[in-house]
A and B are shown apart, each in its own frame.
Chain A
Amino acid sequence: MLELLAYDFMQRSLLAAALVGAVCSVIGVFVVLRGLAFAGAGTAHAAFAGVTLAYLVGLPPLSLAIVFGLATVWITGWVEEKGRMKLDVSIGILYTATMALAILFLGLMKTYNPEVYGYLFGSVLSVTTDELMIIGGLSVVVLGTILLLSKELYFIAFDQEMAAASGVPARQIFYLLLTLVALTVVISLKTVGAILVFAMILIPASTAYQLTHSLTQMTLYSMLIGVFCAVSGVLLSYAFDLPSGPSIVLLATSLFFLAVCCSPKRLHRIQRA
Chain B
Amino acid sequence: MTHPIIRFDHATFGFPGIVALEDITLTIPESEFVGVIGPNGSGKTTLCRAVLGLMAPLRGTLRVLDCACEELRCHHRALIGYLPQKGMIDRNFPVTVLEAVMMGRYGALGLFRRPTQKDRDIARQALTQVGMDHHRDSALGALSGGQQQRVFIARALAQQPRILLLDEPTTGLDLTAQHSVVELIQQLHRELKLTILMITHDINMIRSRVDRLVLLKTKLFAAGPPQEVLKPDILSQVYGKELVITDKDFVIVEDYHHH
Contacts and interface: CB of A to CB of B under 8 A. Distances in A.
A215 B107 contact: no
Nearest to B115: A151
B83 to A, nearest CB: 9
Interface in B74-89: 74-82, 84, 88-89
A151 B54 contact: no
Interface stretch (A19-27, A93-101, A165-173, A243-251): A165-173
B2 to A, nearest CB: 24
Contacts of B100: 158
B104 A213 contact: no
A262 B165 CA distance: 41
Contacts of A11: none
B103 A167 contact: no
A270 to B, nearest CB: 14
Interface string B129-169: 00000000011111000000000000000010000010000
A165 B94 contact: no
Interface residues of A, number: 28
Nearest to B51: A165
Interface residues of B, number: 38
Nearest to A216: B99
Contact of A164 (B54, B109, B138, B141): B54
A124 B116 CA distance: 42
A209 B139 CA distance: 13
B52 A158 contact: no
A166 B77 contact: yes
A162 B84 contact: yes
B52 A165 contact: yes
B95 A214 contact: yes
Nearest to B74: A167
A134 to B, nearest CB: 26
A265 B74 CA distance: 36
A168 B112 contact: no
Interface string A257-273: 00000000100100000
A155 interface: yes
Interface of A: 33, 148-149, 151-152, 154-155, 157-159, 161-169, 209, 212-216, 218, 265, 268
The 3 closest A-B pairs by CB, nearest first: A167-B107, A213-B139, A167-B78
6 contacts: A154-B103, A162-B89, A164-B54, A165-B77, A166-B159, A215-B99
Given A162-B103, A167-B74, A167-B75, 19 more contacts: A33-B93, A151-B109, A155-B106, A158-B93, A159-B88, A163-B106, A164-B54, A166-B78, A166-B103, A167-B107, A167-B108, A168-B74, A168-B106, A169-B74, A212-B94, A213-B141, A214-B95, A216-B99, A218-B94
Interface of B: 52, 54, 74-82, 84, 88-90, 93-96, 99-100, 103-104, 106-109, 111-112, 114-115, 138-142, 159, 165
